[in-house]
Amino acid sequence: MPACPTATIPPRVRVAIGPERPGIGSWDWVGQDLAESLQAEFAVSTFRDEVPACDVAVLVKQPPSVGWGDQLPAGVRLIDCPIDRYGSAGEIDADWRLLRRASRVVAHSPLLARYFCSYARVEVLDHHLKYSIRLRESFLDDGPLLWTGVWLNLRPLVDWVNRHTLPAELHVLTNFEGHACRSAGDFGFRARNRVRVSEWTPARHATVLRESRGAIDIKGEDFRARHKPAAKAMDVLASGVPLAMNLDSSSARVLQQRGFQLAAPHDFERWLSRDYWEQTRDFGRMLQETLTLPRIAGRFADIVRQVLAEEQHVDAA
């Protein structure tokens, strides 16, 4: 009796993601969550310095060392996610060797994507919602205003708040690590407004966001600030919390392209109105549906497969 043929099981594509940097926003938000979500599709590993044997290496934020890209084996495809890596267009041009090594650059802001097109194929991919809460379904006409972010990004907010009188207390959630300040005055806020500063934690973020009447963000004018992804803004809006932001910011421009007009921070009447909250709620409901982790991870998995298919086509030719 002839032996039954043995089915050949193709090996799983090996994807290595790094460098691991626990506590750094880009790793916690993008690297770690992607690594966990892609495990159903690929054989996923993470790395700190040396890249393990893999078919595709995913670089999140900064390479672990100078010349890292030159040390990748020739057969490894590189997908580069340069989140907040560059402080100027000149820095991007100076990094041409690493960027040309990439099979794909994944930009998390459409305004930043054009700077990479000379060096690699570019995909624009949103962050998934990570710090949003259950969508607010009723109008809130009382409570504090909220700002969240790292203390290094506080200066534009401090300058703006010190020139205006806010209609409610401002609650600032930020990281205390690396900074000796603890009080509002320590951070530069003047006494004209009621400002409370607390250390950011995921649980405190959710609690204060839930009780806040609105949220505010003031972006700076440097290269990084002008090309920030709209991730933080989308988290707030997806929670149904009315957000005000300077209208020349990258987030405001990206959201306008998607059909949502943010309120200006000085326009208290619109920002804190029922009508604007209803617009926020409707837009937030759409974001809750489209920016889930499974959807964003699915799009990233498609990019991995496209990169592999392109390389196989070149090899066959």
pLDDT confidence of residue 165? 97
φ, ψ of residue 229 to 5 degrees: the values are -65, 160
Q: Are residues 227 and 194 in the same domain?
A: yes
What's the structural domain count of the chain? 2
φ, ψ of residue 232 in degrees (nearest 5): -65, -40
pLDDT digits (tens, 9 = 90+) for 100-147: 999 999 999 999 999 999 999 999 999 999 999 999 999 999 999 999
Which domain, by its residues, includes 177? 145-290
Residues 154 and 76 in one domain: no
Closest Cα partner for 247 from 256, 258, 239? 256
Asked whether residue 140 is assigned to any structural domain, the reply reads no
279 and 303 in a common domain: no
Question: b or e along 9-47 (b: 16 or more beta carbons within 10 Å of the residue's beta carbon)?
Answer: eeeebbbbbbbbbeebbbbebbbbbbbebbeebbebbbb
> What CATH code is carried by the domain that includes residue 236?
3.40.50.2000
Whether the CB-CB separation of 101 and 207 falls below 8 Å is answered with no
Distance between CA atoms of residues 217 and 172, nearest Å? 11
Q: What percent of the chain has a predicted confidence (pLDDT) above 90?
A: 87
Please state, in angstroms and rounded to a whole number, the distance separating the CA atoms of residues 204 and 314: 51
Strand 77-81 and strand 122-124: pairing? unpaired
Instruction: Note the pLDDT tens digit of each residue in 181-236.
Output: 678 998 999 999 999 999 999 999 999 999 999 999 999 999 999 999 999 999 99
- Return the residue matching tokens 């205390």: 176
Across the beta sheet with 145-148, the strand order is 195-199, 170-174, 145-148, 214-217, 243-245
Helix (H) or strand (E) holding 195: strand 195-199
pLDDT for the residue numbered 178: 67
Longest dimension (CA), the chain: 92
Q: Does the residue 281 lie in any domain?
A: yes
Tell me which H or E stretch contains 243.
strand 243-245
Distance between CA atoms of residues 314 and 153, nearest Å: 44
Tell me whether residue 2 is in a domain: no
Average pLDDT over residues 289-298: 97
pTM over 0.85: yes
Does a structural domain hold residue 137?
A: no
Are 303 and 226 found together in one domain? no
